[in-house]
């Protein structure tokens, strides 16, 4: 069997060693004679899996002790609603930075609960950049401030994080979680759907500063209440056992391959190869993100015509490069280069892009 070069935006490519361990575990998990899908979430074997994943994540990201780590279902989209239900009083307001589709969804969800103030938006500029922090004025009385670190559809990414003073900073990191070193202590809450960079769909990681839990209203039922859900160590109900197992295996792969330093170095290299090629002749592969906002996870571009884009996608697919079509809302080409995409895979794609440019 030949595996293709998978540039899908999400669910995205996963590391082969993690998939191989999963294939084995589907049949016989840890020599128990049961598959992981058939294993109780209360078994000691699974308890070891979830605890080990949590400890690996803590080590890899340097997550301080005053933060809890949780595994939720419902995707990042449930978090859009849930964080507002927990932290936005109905008569209160929260600050939101609008950098594209996903942040707009977060804003929309918060609007059902209280007031979402859009303190900055690059919508007028077609989301081709993220705002500079000196363009944003935060409200001192905001319940929290919400940002999206990487805009999967538009190919933009914040290169730094804002200082919001006493206002808790909450970040949707779905599409660049674990792609670079970050200072977790800058955030009150980080969340990420696993299916972009750390595992399969079905689980969403949440990193929560513990003092935030005092704010969760008692009126919320336990499944929607961070304090109650996290107190049960993400097993208030049956958690997505297999998805959590896979996250653990991906984290193992990251740790065994040099940790975040190596991940970050490789991601810089991959993005550098693509942007380098685009900059050689900006009229052919025309980047859609402004240079200072370029994402190292999703590299977006247009070709001189839609016909050429179609031809590009077709020829790429023939050569085994898949998942390169831009989001249906923006068109064009999008190269998603998550952690599990190798430098070699990007080198091969870049070689193909060069030859395509030459022949067209």
Residue ranges that bind ligand PLP, judged by CB under 6 A = 10, 75-77, 102, 148, 152, 172, 174-175, 193, 196
Catalytic (active site) residue 292: no
Per the annotation, the verdict on 283 as an active-site residue is no
* Smallest separation (angstroms) from ligand PLP to the CB of 229: 17
Q: What is the smallest separation between the CB atom of 172 and ligand PLP, expressed in angstroms?
A: 5
Give the shortest CB-51-to-ligand PLP separation in angstroms. 24
Task: Compute the least distance from the CB of residue 158 to ligand PLP, in Å.
Answer: 11
Residues 6+ positions from 81 with CB-CB distance below 8 Å: 109, 112, 113
Tell me which of 196, 270, 296, 325 is the catalytic residue.
196
Question: What SS3 class is residue 27?
Answer: helix
Cβ proximity to ligand PLP: between 154 and 312 the closer is 154
> Would you say 39 or 174 has its CB closer to ligand PLP?
174
Q: Is 266 in contact with 282 (CB distance < 8 Å)?
A: no
Please give the Cα distance from 340 to 337 (Å, whole number).
8
In angstroms, give the least distance from the CB of 91 to ligand PLP: 27
Contacts of 289 (CB under 8 A, 6+ apart): 128, 129, 154, 155, 156, 295, 300
Residue nearest ligand PLP, Cβ-based: 75
Shorter beta-carbon distance to ligand PLP: residue 10 or 70: 10
- Is 81 or 266 the residue whose CB approaches ligand PLP more closely? 81
Active site residue 102: yes
Q: Which residue from 267, 336, 247 is spatially nearest to 60, judged by alpha carbons?
A: 247
Integer Cα distance of 40 and 124 in angstroms: 50
Other C-beta atoms within 10 Å of 45: how many? 16
Structure-block tokens of residue 236:
């208030």
Q: Which is nearer to ligand PLP, 76 or 182 (CB)?
A: 76
- For residues 20 and 338, the answer to whether their CB atoms sit within 8 Å is no
- Catalytic sites, residue numbers: 102, 172, 196
């Amino acid at each position: 069997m030949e595996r293709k070069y998978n540039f899908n935006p999400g669910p995205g490519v996963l590391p082969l060693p993690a998939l191989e361990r999963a294939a084995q575990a589907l049949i016989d998990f840890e020599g128990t004679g049961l598959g992981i899908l058939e294993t109780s979430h209360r078994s000691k074997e699974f308890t070891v899996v979830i605890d080990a994943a949590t400890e690996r994540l803590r080590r890899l990201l340097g997550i301080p002790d005053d933060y809890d780590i949780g595994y939720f279902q419902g995707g990042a989209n449930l978090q859009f609603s849930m964080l507002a239900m927990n932290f936005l009083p109905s008569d209160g307001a929260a600050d939101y930075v609008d950098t594209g589709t996903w942040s707009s969804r977060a804003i929309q969800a918060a609007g059902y609960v209280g007031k979402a103030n859009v303190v900055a938006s690059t919508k007028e500029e077609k989301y081709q950049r993220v705002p500079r922090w000196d363009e944003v004025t935060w409200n001192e009385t905001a319940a929290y401030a919400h940002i999206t670190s990487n805009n999967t559809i538009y190919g933009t990414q914040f290169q730094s994080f804002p200082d919001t003073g006493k206002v808790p900073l909450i970040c949707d990191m779905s599409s660049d979680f674990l792609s670079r070193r970050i200072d977790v202590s800058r955030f009150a809450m980080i969340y990420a759907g696993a299916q972009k960079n750390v595992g399969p769909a079905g689980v969403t990681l949440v990193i929560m500063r513990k003092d935030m839990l005092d704010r969760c209203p008692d009126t919320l039922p336990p499944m929607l209440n961070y304090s109650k859900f996290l107190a049960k160590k993400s097993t208030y109900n049956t958690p997505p056992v297999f998805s959590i197992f896979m996250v653990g295996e991906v984290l193992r792969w990251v740790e065994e391959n040099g940790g975040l330093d190596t991940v970050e170095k490789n991601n810089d290299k991959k993005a550098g190869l693509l942007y380098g090629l685009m900059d050689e002749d900006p009229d052919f592969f025309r980047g859609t993100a402004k240079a200072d906002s370029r994402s190292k996870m999703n590299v977006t571009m247009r070709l001189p015509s839609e016909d050429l884009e179609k031809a590009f996608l077709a020829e790429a697919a023939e050569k085994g490069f898949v998942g390169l079509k831009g989001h249906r809302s923006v068109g064009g080409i999008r190269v998603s280069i998550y952690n599990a995409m190798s430098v070699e895979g990007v080198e091969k794609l870049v070689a193909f892009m060069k030859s395509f440019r030459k022949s067209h």
